[in-house]
Structure 1
Protein backbone atom coordinates (compact mmCIF):
# COMPACT_ATOMS: atom_id res chain seq x y z
CA UNK A 1 0.00 0.00 0.00
CA UNK A 2 2.89 2.37 0.75
CA UNK A 3 4.27 1.87 -2.75
CA UNK A 4 0.89 2.83 -4.21
CA UNK A 5 0.90 6.14 -2.27
CA UNK A 6 4.49 6.86 -3.23
CA UNK A 7 3.71 6.29 -6.92
CA UNK A 8 0.56 8.40 -6.66
CA UNK A 9 2.49 11.25 -5.01
CA UNK A 10 5.24 11.03 -7.63
CA UNK A 11 2.77 11.11 -10.54
CA UNK A 12 0.84 14.04 -9.08
CA UNK A 13 4.00 16.05 -8.41
CA UNK A 14 5.20 15.44 -11.98
CA UNK A 15 1.80 16.56 -13.33
CA UNK A 16 1.79 19.72 -11.20
CA UNK A 17 5.37 20.56 -12.23
CA UNK A 18 4.64 20.05 -15.92
CA UNK A 19 1.56 22.27 -15.75
CA UNK A 20 3.42 25.04 -13.92
CA UNK A 21 6.22 25.32 -16.49
CA UNK A 22 5.07 28.23 -18.63
CA UNK A 23 8.32 30.20 -18.58
CA UNK A 24 11.19 28.47 -20.40
CA UNK A 25 13.79 29.83 -17.95
CA UNK A 26 13.33 29.67 -14.17
CA UNK A 27 13.23 33.29 -13.01
CA UNK A 28 13.35 34.48 -16.62
CA UNK A 29 12.04 37.91 -17.61
CA UNK A 30 10.47 39.31 -20.76
CA UNK A 31 11.21 42.95 -21.53
CA UNK A 32 8.20 44.13 -23.51
CA UNK A 33 9.66 46.47 -26.12
CA UNK A 34 12.84 44.43 -26.71
CA UNK A 35 13.76 41.53 -29.00
CA UNK A 36 17.20 40.03 -29.58
CA UNK A 37 16.91 40.49 -33.35
CA UNK A 38 20.47 41.49 -34.24
CA UNK A 39 20.66 39.14 -37.27
CA UNK A 40 17.44 40.57 -38.72
CA UNK A 41 18.64 44.15 -38.28
CA UNK A 42 22.03 43.46 -39.87
CA UNK A 43 20.46 41.75 -42.89
CA UNK A 44 17.83 44.44 -43.39
CA UNK A 45 20.40 47.23 -42.95
CA UNK A 46 22.68 45.62 -45.53
CA UNK A 47 20.16 44.53 -48.17
CA UNK A 48 17.25 46.90 -47.36
CA UNK A 49 14.78 44.01 -47.16
CA UNK A 50 13.79 41.18 -44.82
CA UNK A 51 15.33 37.73 -45.17
CA UNK A 52 12.70 34.97 -45.02
CA UNK A 53 15.39 32.50 -43.88
CA UNK A 54 16.01 34.40 -40.64
CA UNK A 55 13.56 33.31 -37.96
CA UNK A 56 11.47 36.25 -36.73
CA UNK A 57 11.73 36.82 -32.98
CA UNK A 58 8.44 36.85 -31.08
CA UNK A 59 9.85 36.88 -27.53
CA UNK A 60 13.24 37.10 -25.89
CA UNK A 61 13.46 35.63 -22.38
CA UNK A 62 16.30 37.08 -20.28
CA UNK A 63 18.13 35.98 -17.13
CA UNK A 64 21.32 36.88 -15.32
CA UNK A 65 21.92 33.24 -14.38
CA UNK A 66 24.72 31.88 -16.59
CA UNK A 67 23.88 28.27 -15.72
CA UNK A 68 20.09 28.52 -16.27
CA UNK A 69 18.51 25.71 -18.24
CA UNK A 70 15.84 26.10 -20.89
CA UNK A 71 12.68 24.02 -20.39
CA UNK A 72 9.86 23.17 -22.74
CA UNK A 73 6.57 24.99 -22.25
CA UNK A 74 4.66 22.52 -24.46
CA UNK A 75 4.08 18.79 -24.85
CA UNK A 76 5.16 17.67 -28.30
CA UNK A 77 7.81 16.16 -30.56
CA UNK A 78 11.19 17.52 -31.67
CA UNK A 79 11.13 18.14 -35.44
CA UNK A 80 14.47 19.94 -35.87
CA UNK A 81 17.71 20.63 -34.00
CA UNK A 82 20.38 23.07 -35.18
CA UNK A 83 23.60 21.52 -36.48
CA UNK A 84 25.49 23.55 -33.87
CA UNK A 85 22.96 22.57 -31.16
CA UNK A 86 21.84 26.21 -30.98
CA UNK A 87 18.11 25.87 -31.69
CA UNK A 88 15.30 23.35 -31.39
CA UNK A 89 11.85 23.19 -33.03
CA UNK A 90 8.97 21.34 -31.40
CA UNK A 91 5.60 20.51 -32.97
CA UNK A 92 2.64 20.40 -30.58
CA UNK A 93 -1.18 20.32 -30.77
CA UNK A 94 -0.94 18.62 -34.20
CA UNK A 95 0.07 21.69 -36.22
CA UNK A 96 1.64 24.28 -33.89
CA UNK A 97 5.42 24.81 -33.89
CA UNK A 98 7.60 26.59 -31.34
CA UNK A 99 11.25 27.38 -32.05
CA UNK A 100 13.70 28.01 -29.21
CA UNK A 101 16.66 29.88 -30.74
CA UNK A 102 20.03 31.30 -29.63
CA UNK A 103 20.59 28.49 -27.14
CA UNK A 104 23.62 26.38 -26.42
CA UNK A 105 24.05 22.68 -25.87
CA UNK A 106 20.61 21.41 -26.92
CA UNK A 107 20.27 17.99 -25.26
CA UNK A 108 17.51 16.44 -27.37
CA UNK A 109 17.52 15.02 -30.88
CA UNK A 110 15.02 14.87 -33.72
CA UNK A 111 11.89 12.77 -33.01
CA UNK A 112 12.33 12.89 -29.21
CA UNK A 113 9.05 13.27 -27.30
CA UNK A 114 8.92 16.36 -25.08
CA UNK A 115 6.74 17.14 -22.06
CA UNK A 116 6.28 20.47 -20.32
CA UNK A 117 9.27 21.03 -18.08
CA UNK A 118 11.67 18.86 -20.12
CA UNK A 119 15.16 20.36 -20.20
CA UNK A 120 16.02 21.39 -23.77
CA UNK A 121 19.44 22.99 -23.31
CA UNK A 122 21.14 26.01 -21.77
CA UNK A 123 20.93 29.77 -22.12
CA UNK A 124 23.46 31.62 -24.24
CA UNK A 125 25.29 34.89 -23.57
CA UNK A 126 23.28 37.81 -24.97
CA UNK A 127 25.53 40.12 -27.00
CA UNK A 128 22.65 42.38 -28.14
CA UNK A 129 21.29 43.45 -24.76
CA UNK A 130 18.43 45.91 -24.20
CA UNK A 131 19.44 49.50 -23.58
CA UNK A 132 19.94 50.29 -19.87
CA UNK A 133 19.20 46.68 -18.90
CA UNK A 134 21.24 46.86 -15.68
CA UNK A 135 18.99 49.63 -14.39
CA UNK A 136 15.72 48.24 -15.78
CA UNK A 137 16.25 44.64 -14.67
CA UNK A 138 18.38 45.41 -11.62
CA UNK A 139 21.07 43.05 -12.92
CA UNK A 140 24.81 43.27 -12.43
CA UNK A 141 27.10 41.77 -15.04
CA UNK A 142 26.16 39.99 -18.24
CA UNK A 143 22.78 38.66 -19.31
CA UNK A 144 21.77 35.42 -21.01
CA UNK A 145 18.74 34.76 -23.14
CA UNK A 146 16.78 32.67 -25.63
CA UNK A 147 14.43 33.66 -28.43
CA UNK A 148 11.02 32.11 -29.05
CA UNK A 149 9.18 32.06 -32.38
CA UNK A 150 5.74 30.58 -33.05
CA UNK A 151 4.30 29.05 -36.21
CA UNK A 152 1.53 26.79 -37.40
CA UNK A 153 1.56 24.33 -40.28
CA UNK A 154 -1.09 25.03 -42.92
CA UNK A 155 -3.08 21.81 -43.38
CA UNK A 156 -3.66 22.41 -47.10
CA UNK A 157 -0.21 23.55 -48.26
CA UNK A 158 2.04 22.11 -45.54
CA UNK A 159 3.74 25.50 -45.25
CA UNK A 160 4.95 26.79 -41.90
CA UNK A 161 3.28 30.16 -41.27
CA UNK A 162 4.55 32.64 -38.69
CA UNK A 163 1.92 33.00 -35.97
CA UNK A 164 3.00 35.18 -33.03
CA UNK A 165 1.06 34.35 -29.90
CA UNK A 166 0.02 36.65 -27.09
CA UNK A 167 2.68 37.31 -24.48
CA UNK A 168 0.03 36.42 -21.87
CA UNK A 169 0.48 32.70 -22.62
CA UNK A 170 4.05 32.89 -21.27
CA UNK A 171 4.12 33.37 -17.50
CA UNK A 172 7.58 34.89 -17.19
CA UNK A 173 7.83 38.14 -15.27
CA UNK A 174 7.17 40.92 -17.77
CA UNK A 175 8.75 44.36 -17.64
CA UNK A 176 7.48 47.10 -19.94
CA UNK A 177 10.18 49.34 -21.34
CA UNK A 178 10.02 51.96 -24.05
CA UNK A 179 13.18 52.72 -26.03
CA UNK A 180 14.95 49.55 -24.85
CA UNK A 181 15.46 48.10 -28.33
CA UNK A 182 19.06 48.55 -29.54
CA UNK A 183 19.30 49.64 -33.17
CA UNK A 184 22.03 48.97 -35.69
CA UNK A 185 22.52 51.97 -37.92
CA UNK A 186 24.59 52.25 -41.07
CA UNK A 187 24.67 48.54 -41.85
Structure 2
Protein backbone atom coordinates (compact mmCIF):
# COMPACT_ATOMS: atom_id res chain seq x y z
CA UNK A 1 0.00 0.00 0.00
CA UNK A 2 1.25 3.45 -0.90
CA UNK A 3 1.40 6.38 1.58
CA UNK A 4 -0.10 9.69 0.49
CA UNK A 5 2.53 12.37 0.08
CA UNK A 6 2.85 14.66 3.16
CA UNK A 7 4.37 18.08 3.59
CA UNK A 8 7.99 18.39 2.65
CA UNK A 9 10.23 18.65 5.74
CA UNK A 10 11.11 22.33 5.04
CA UNK A 11 7.43 23.40 4.84
CA UNK A 12 6.54 21.38 7.95
CA UNK A 13 9.40 22.93 9.97
CA UNK A 14 8.54 26.40 8.70
CA UNK A 15 4.89 25.94 9.77
CA UNK A 16 5.91 24.66 13.22
CA UNK A 17 8.30 27.61 13.67
CA UNK A 18 5.58 30.10 12.64
CA UNK A 19 3.13 28.56 15.10
CA UNK A 20 5.72 28.77 17.90
CA UNK A 21 6.35 32.48 17.15
CA UNK A 22 2.58 33.20 17.18
CA UNK A 23 2.15 31.45 20.54
CA UNK A 24 5.11 33.37 22.00
CA UNK A 25 3.77 36.71 20.70
CA UNK A 26 0.31 35.98 22.12
CA UNK A 27 1.73 35.18 25.56
CA UNK A 28 3.82 38.38 25.49
CA UNK A 29 0.76 40.50 24.62
CA UNK A 30 -1.31 38.91 27.40
CA UNK A 31 1.42 39.41 30.01
CA UNK A 32 1.89 43.09 29.09
CA UNK A 33 -1.82 43.91 28.88
CA UNK A 34 -2.54 46.73 31.32
CA UNK A 35 1.07 47.70 31.90
CA UNK A 36 0.85 51.04 30.08
CA UNK A 37 -0.52 53.91 32.16
CA UNK A 38 -3.51 55.59 30.56
CA UNK A 39 -6.70 57.31 31.59
CA UNK A 40 -10.22 56.99 30.33
CA UNK A 41 -12.90 59.41 31.32
CA UNK A 42 -16.00 61.40 30.64
CA UNK A 43 -17.13 64.90 31.45
CA UNK A 44 -20.14 64.86 33.74
CA UNK A 45 -20.95 68.56 33.96
CA UNK A 46 -19.58 71.94 32.89
CA UNK A 47 -20.47 75.03 34.92
CA UNK A 48 -19.71 78.47 33.55
CA UNK A 49 -18.98 81.39 35.85
CA UNK A 50 -18.84 84.79 34.11
CA UNK A 51 -16.03 86.79 35.75
CA UNK A 52 -16.06 89.78 33.40
CA UNK A 53 -17.73 90.94 30.18
CA UNK A 54 -14.99 89.22 28.17
CA UNK A 55 -13.90 86.44 30.54
CA UNK A 56 -15.39 83.36 32.13
CA UNK A 57 -14.39 80.39 34.22
CA UNK A 58 -15.27 76.85 33.21
CA UNK A 59 -15.65 74.43 36.12
CA UNK A 60 -15.52 70.87 34.78
CA UNK A 61 -16.72 67.91 36.84
CA UNK A 62 -15.52 64.65 35.33
CA UNK A 63 -15.05 60.95 36.01
CA UNK A 64 -11.64 59.46 35.36
CA UNK A 65 -10.60 55.81 35.34
CA UNK A 66 -7.16 54.22 35.16
CA UNK A 67 -7.82 50.79 33.57
CA UNK A 68 -4.15 49.81 33.62
CA UNK A 69 -2.27 48.13 36.44
CA UNK A 70 0.25 50.98 36.76
CA UNK A 71 -0.10 54.36 38.42
CA UNK A 72 -0.80 57.46 36.31
CA UNK A 73 0.93 60.58 37.63
CA UNK A 74 -0.39 63.83 36.19
CA UNK A 75 2.27 66.04 34.63
CA UNK A 76 -0.05 68.50 32.92
CA UNK A 77 -3.79 69.09 32.63
CA UNK A 78 -5.23 71.31 29.92
CA UNK A 79 -8.80 72.30 29.12
CA UNK A 80 -9.43 73.20 25.50
CA UNK A 81 -12.67 74.69 24.14
CA UNK A 82 -13.62 74.19 20.50
CA UNK A 83 -15.49 77.33 19.48
CA UNK A 84 -18.40 77.59 17.05
CA UNK A 85 -16.05 78.53 14.19
CA UNK A 86 -13.93 75.41 14.79
CA UNK A 87 -10.97 77.18 16.38
CA UNK A 88 -9.54 75.88 19.65
CA UNK A 89 -8.82 78.01 22.70
CA UNK A 90 -6.87 76.68 25.67
CA UNK A 91 -7.90 77.94 29.08
CA UNK A 92 -5.60 78.92 31.92
CA UNK A 93 -5.98 76.26 34.64
CA UNK A 94 -7.06 77.49 38.06
CA UNK A 95 -5.65 76.13 41.34
CA UNK A 96 -8.02 74.65 43.93
CA UNK A 97 -7.59 77.56 46.37
CA UNK A 98 -8.55 80.14 43.76
CA UNK A 99 -11.43 78.02 42.50
CA UNK A 100 -12.83 77.76 46.02
CA UNK A 101 -12.63 81.55 46.41
CA UNK A 102 -14.43 82.17 43.11
CA UNK A 103 -17.16 79.65 43.94
CA UNK A 104 -17.56 81.18 47.40
CA UNK A 105 -18.11 84.58 45.79
CA UNK A 106 -20.36 83.32 42.94
CA UNK A 107 -22.69 81.14 45.03
CA UNK A 108 -25.08 80.62 42.12
CA UNK A 109 -22.42 78.41 40.44
CA UNK A 110 -22.55 75.94 43.30
CA UNK A 111 -19.70 74.49 45.28
CA UNK A 112 -16.78 72.24 44.44
CA UNK A 113 -17.99 68.69 44.98
CA UNK A 114 -14.81 66.71 44.32
CA UNK A 115 -11.05 67.32 44.63
CA UNK A 116 -9.31 69.23 41.86
CA UNK A 117 -7.04 67.12 39.63
CA UNK A 118 -3.69 68.90 39.55
CA UNK A 119 -0.06 68.34 38.62
CA UNK A 120 1.67 65.53 40.51
CA UNK A 121 -1.67 63.94 41.49
CA UNK A 122 -1.73 60.18 41.14
CA UNK A 123 -4.47 57.92 39.88
CA UNK A 124 -3.68 54.36 40.91
CA UNK A 125 -4.23 51.41 38.59
CA UNK A 126 -7.77 50.04 38.49
CA UNK A 127 -9.21 53.13 40.22
CA UNK A 128 -12.18 55.21 39.06
CA UNK A 129 -12.87 58.55 40.72
CA UNK A 130 -14.71 61.80 40.23
CA UNK A 131 -12.61 64.96 39.99
CA UNK A 132 -12.91 68.64 39.17
CA UNK A 133 -10.81 70.94 37.00
CA UNK A 134 -11.24 74.60 36.18
CA UNK A 135 -9.85 76.98 33.59
CA UNK A 136 -10.26 80.65 32.86
CA UNK A 137 -11.00 81.73 29.30
CA UNK A 138 -10.74 85.20 27.80
CA UNK A 139 -14.08 84.69 26.10
CA UNK A 140 -17.46 86.14 26.94
CA UNK A 141 -19.98 83.78 28.48
CA UNK A 142 -22.07 83.99 25.29
CA UNK A 143 -19.15 82.93 23.05
CA UNK A 144 -18.21 80.13 25.45
CA UNK A 145 -21.81 78.89 25.62
CA UNK A 146 -21.87 78.68 21.79
CA UNK A 147 -18.86 76.32 21.73
CA UNK A 148 -18.89 73.03 19.79
CA UNK A 149 -17.09 71.09 22.50
CA UNK A 150 -14.76 70.92 25.46
CA UNK A 151 -11.81 68.55 25.83
CA UNK A 152 -9.65 67.61 28.81
CA UNK A 153 -6.07 66.73 27.91
CA UNK A 154 -4.11 65.00 30.66
CA UNK A 155 -0.44 64.08 30.26
CA UNK A 156 1.37 61.49 32.37
CA UNK A 157 4.80 62.16 33.87
CA UNK A 158 6.18 59.48 31.50
CA UNK A 159 4.77 61.26 28.43
CA UNK A 160 1.56 59.29 27.78
CA UNK A 161 -1.37 61.61 27.02
CA UNK A 162 -5.09 61.00 27.39
CA UNK A 163 -7.93 63.08 25.98
CA UNK A 164 -11.64 62.92 26.59
CA UNK A 165 -14.61 65.18 26.44
CA UNK A 166 -15.96 66.96 23.40
CA UNK A 167 -19.05 68.09 25.28
CA UNK A 168 -21.11 70.60 23.30
CA UNK A 169 -22.80 73.42 25.17
CA UNK A 170 -26.50 73.12 25.91
CA UNK A 171 -28.62 75.85 24.29
Output the TM-score relative to the length of structure 2: 0.30
Greater Cα radius of gyration, structure 1 or 2: 2
Output the TM-score relative to the length of structure 1: 0.28
